Amino acid sequence: MLPNIDFSLNAYDNEQVRLMEEMCILVDENDKKIGADSKKNCHLMANINKGLLHRAFSVFLFNSENKLLLQQRSDDKITFPSLWTNTCCSHPLNTPLELDENNQIGVRRAAQRKLQHELGIKPRQVPIDDFVFLTRIHYLAPSDGIWGEHEKNLHLVDYVLIIRADVDLEINPNEVKAVEYFSLEELTQKFENPGDWKFTPWFKLISETFLFAWWKNLDNIKKDEKIHKLGFDNL
């Protein structure tokens, strides 16, 4: 664990500040666990510049009409407030259940937990075995700011999970501002003409690099064990 940097969170929402104390899983570039540290420390650019890397996940939920559920992050979020992104993005925690690497079960458990926390989706509607692991992405981009997930920057190994389900939503306003379903054609058009919409960097990058190709063949996507490095060309 790196020394805790003296950076005040007093100006932020109390619940979001509490969540910044959750313990994330530190990994090396091969996604091997090397320790644990707080969410706050994992997202400070000063620590990222020292090589701090943590495990994360991104869930893409499609309904029976093959439409993807997007969420707009709450204005209360400390990192990436108000930006549109994929269905759910978060971190497995440094707990026995979410550290389990057998068949990515720990990440799947974390995904199920956060779908309920953020969107009110009951676990029975998104069974752990229904999550399809596609690949891992090692994302890195530089930052001049305090937070490594501010506007365009972060450093993580991101597990990409797809699940197909019709779900009931009860959004947590502390986490999510709005939700909307998109077809492939609608999302492609939104990226081309975003208007006042702004997207998280990982969502746009995953979409343009992988998602649009996957979307056309959701029933026959093959798991890719490779860790793809994205976002390094700006370094």
- 75: DSSP letter: T
Q: What is the CA radius of gyration of the chain?
A: 17
Burial of 106 (0-12, 13-18, 19+ CB in 10 A): buried
Listed in sequence order, the residues at least 6 apart from 5 whose beta carbon sits closer than 8 Å to its beta carbon are 41, 44, 46, 47
Kindly give, in sequence order, each residue whose CB lies less than 8 Å from that of residue 6, ignoring residues fewer than 6 positions away: none
**Distance of alpha carbon 116 from alpha carbon 230, whole angstroms:** 29
Q: Which helix (H) or strand (E) holds 162?
A: strand 155-164
Is 89 annotated in the active site? yes
Helix (H, G, I), strand (E, B) or coil at 224: coil
In the set 22, 101, 151, 180, the catalytic residue is 151
Q: Which of 24, 42, 88, 89 is catalytic?
A: 89
Q: How far apart are CA 154 and CA 146, in angstroms?
A: 11
151 is catalytic: yes
Nearest CA to 140 out of 52, 39, 199, 208 is that of 52
What positions carry a catalytic annotation? 89, 151
